[in-house]
Structure 1
Amino acid sequence: MIKTENKSIAVKLLCLLFLSVLVSCSPENLLLPGEGFVEVNGGKIWYEVFGEGKKAPIILLHGGPGGTSLGFEPLKELGYDGPIVFLDQLGSGRSSAITDTSLMTIENYVEQVESLRNHLGIKDFVLYGSSWGTMLGIDYYLKYPDEVKAIIFSSPLFSTDSWIADADTLIATLPDSVQQVIRYHESINEYDHPDYHEAVKLYYSLYVTRKERPKIDRSYLNLVSGKEIYKYMWGPSEFTSTGTLRNFDRLEQLGKISVPVLLFTGQYDEARPSTVQYYQSLISDATFREIPDAAHSTLNDNKEETLKVVMKFLERVNSLN
């Protein structure tokens, strides 16, 4: 009698163990909503898994360098049936602060994304990069192509030379007096002068963010500033690059992308539509969309249209085997 009861208990335990393994291996249970940190070279990076479901996970790579994932917040209104992973890159936002410039490399940021992917056990995901996040995104894909199901490039930068050429075109639309201020202060490397800041402000209001951002008090988050990372890697302003990314160019590598790609940019974006369309021509399976009435900050300037474009692409990607 005792042996029979013990056998019955053992069978029940084995059944429970089997069920627990099935649950733990179920894709929709691997990635549960919540926040956390991942140890990386130089500190900890913060992440949040938002939403859940059976569709391919999305990993978001924010702009900057030195920006935060807060600009991606409107994507929480997407209504996507799958997890969306927000990430603050090392040195900014809710991640560890850094001052060591040896950590401020695109290679190091690529490995941060890979560390996060491994930590969360993500495979076959949609990579979504915006601005600097597209530079990081293309380099991540070139190193780890097998992990990526599809790519979204928002307001991409694949060649700093092309970016600067576009910026020169846009600067030429400003009043002559403003152009002179920009050129004069850049010629003497005087980027902190009030007149230069005013000129930068005008440029940004036309080609970076046209619509006023919502005023939200986030002081309680104690966000780390990535301003010095931006200066070191990029430069003093969006239209002037003096940092380590000055010679960045991946145009010849775009043809190596073999997954579906969505490229989109704002009608008035500093990533000019004609340039982004050229990028599209270099990728075998790429779709281009222009977001009307928007500059670089498409999710801020025209949230509704941006979400619509992104969702349509995701539906297509998830319909593929």
Structure 2
Amino acid sequence: MFLKTLHLTIVFTLLCINSFSQLTEQEGYVPVTGGKIWYRVIGKGKGLPLLLTHGGPGGTSRSFYQFVSIGNDRPIILFDQLGSGRSGYHTDTSLLKVPFFVEQVKALVDHLSLDSFYLHGHSWGTALALEYYLKYPQGIKAIIFNSPYFSTEVWKKDADTLISTLPVSIQKAIADGERTRDFNSEAYQNANTVFAKNFGVRNTRLTSPWDTVTAPSNGFIYNYMWGPTEFTATGTLKNYDRIGSLSSITVPTLFITGEYDEARPATVARLSKLVKQSQFGIIKGAGHGTMHDNRAENIRFIASFLQSLEKTNPISK
């Protein structure tokens, strides 16, 4: 019986290794409903792959180029959600529903034959990662929620708390804009700039030698699904709330957020407690753009978390 069990263990380990050792550095397109999504695999490390879902909605994966050093340990997979970046552009509102975004992730997972992998989301991408896990948990060995968004109501409350720390003139400009629905006024736009500088990307946005192709975000998608600014939600996600589903996560989960993040540390710490196997960390000096404000610490949290899992459970490698 021992020899039989040992044989099965060795076979399983080899199958796990073979399942992702074939994931070479590459880029391409995957057909999905409404068009094609662009993806890129970076890194030659032998660990389990890390699949990254970017923020927005309507954002791009460009900021994930700041994570290329993680590729020394494992392949990282980034892609642009349909409608933005290097994927097919569109303004078709019938495609701007959460289930369609989930199926884009599934199409990529199937295309790359990912049997075992880690899932990472940033901002809106954390909601997408959670939605994907809830529908397709198979093969996901751990999740990383970076600057998470799971509830518009909670996000708005956090934004209001942060706004209250800004100059009175900025608070008034935001209140006036939301009251009159004039989101294009000079005062409101200036207030948005001040908010972003304090809680978005606080330092200089980093560039990358990998980022060589124009890959614009899609403001139409952002406005339709979210709204005019990070602190004003008017779109289809206005009533979005998935916090109640966090307790159903059964894999190890890392919650991280910036010290000055829109996803406030106090809130993220509270959310992390809803997941049984969770860890929580604060990225010092960072706003919402954690990979720009403190790339080294952002990477350290991610890499250390995954390495610790593989050290504890070497068969997953």
What percent of counterpart residues are identical?
A: 46
Contact 1:262 1:313 in 2 (8 A): yes
> How many residues matched?
299
Q: Quote the offset at 1:145 in angstroms.
A: 1.0
Which residue number corresponds to residue 263 of structure 2? 271
* 1: CA distance, partners of 2:281 / 2:243: 19
Inter-CA distance 216–251: structure 2 relative to 1 (3 Å threshold): closer
The yes-or-no answer on 1:234 pairing with 2:226 is: yes
Kindly provide the amino acid, as one letter, of the partner of residue 212 in structure 1: T
1:67 counterpart = 2:41: no
Structure 1 spans left out of the alignment, 5+ residues: 1-21
- Alpha-carbon shift at residue 154 of structure 1 (Å): 0.2
Question: Quick check: 1:33–1:48 contact (8 Å CA) kept in 2?
Answer: yes
Partner of 1:181: 173
Pick from 197, 202, 220 the counterpart of residue 205 of structure 1.
Answer: 197
The alpha carbon displacement at 1:178 in A equals 1.1
Give the equivalent residue in structure 2 for 1:143. 135
Q: Quick one: which amino acid aligns to residue 208 of structure 1?
A: G
Separation in structure 2 between the aligned mates of residue 187 and residue 226 of structure 1, nearest angstrom: 26
Are 2:286 and 1:283 aligned?
no
TM-score, scaled to structure 1: 0.89
Is the contact between residue 97 and residue 224 of structure 1 (CA under 8 Å) also seen in structure 2? no
State how 1:53-202 maps to structure 2 within 5 Å. Answer: 53-202=45-194
Aligned to 1:48: 40
In 1: Cα distance, 2:61 partner to 2:28 partner: 14
Higher gyration radius (CA): 1
Bigger drift between 187-196 and 214-223 goes to: 214-223
**Following the alignment from structure 2 to structure 1, what is the Cα–Cα distance between the partners of residues 231 and 74?**
36
- For 1:220 and 1:303, how far apart are their aligned partners in 2? 20
Letter in 1 for 2:37: I
Alignment of 1:24-35 (within 5 A): 26-35=18-27
Identify which range, 271-280 or 212-221, moves more after superposition: 212-221
Q: Residue type of the partner of 1:210?
A: R
Is the 2:62–2:211 Cα contact (8 Å) retained in structure 1? Answer: no
User: Could you list the per-position Cα deviations for residues 151-210 of structure 1 after superposition, in whole angstroms to 9, with x for gaps in the alignment?
Assistant: 000000111111100000000011111111110111111011111110000000000110
CA distance in 2 between counterparts of 1:199 and 1:81 reads: 41
Letter matched to residue 83 of structure 2: G
Whole-angstrom distance in 2 between the partners of 1:37 and 1:261:
29
Distance 1:236 1:273 in 2: 24
Q: 1:20-68 CA distances to partner (integer Å, 9 max, x unpaired)?
A: xx99x93344211111000000101000011134311111000111111
- Counterparts of 1:118 and 1:139, CA distance in 2: 17
Question: d(CA) in 2 for partners of 1:126 and 1:29?
Answer: 15
Structure 1 residue 296 corresponds to structure 2 residue 288: yes
Matched, 1:306 2:314: no
SS at match of 2:188: helix
Whether contact under 8 Å (1:267, 1:292) holds in the other structure is yes
- Aligned equivalents of 1:28, 1:114: Cα separation in 2: 17
Structure 1 letter corresponding to 2:27: E
Deviation at 1:224, TM superposition (A): 4.2
- Unaligned runs of 5+ residues in structure 2 are 1-13
Separation in structure 1 between the aligned mates of residue 48 and residue 212 of structure 2, nearest angstrom: 32
Task: Tell me which stretches of 4 or more aligned residues in structure 1 moved more than 6 Å.
Answer: 216-220
Alignment partner of 1:249 out of 241, 256, 263: 241
Counterpart CA distance in 2 for 1:65 and 1:161 is 17
Structure 1 residues 305 and 202: CA distance shift in structure 2, 3 A? same
RMSD: 1.8
**How does the TM-score come out when normalised to structure 2?**
0.90
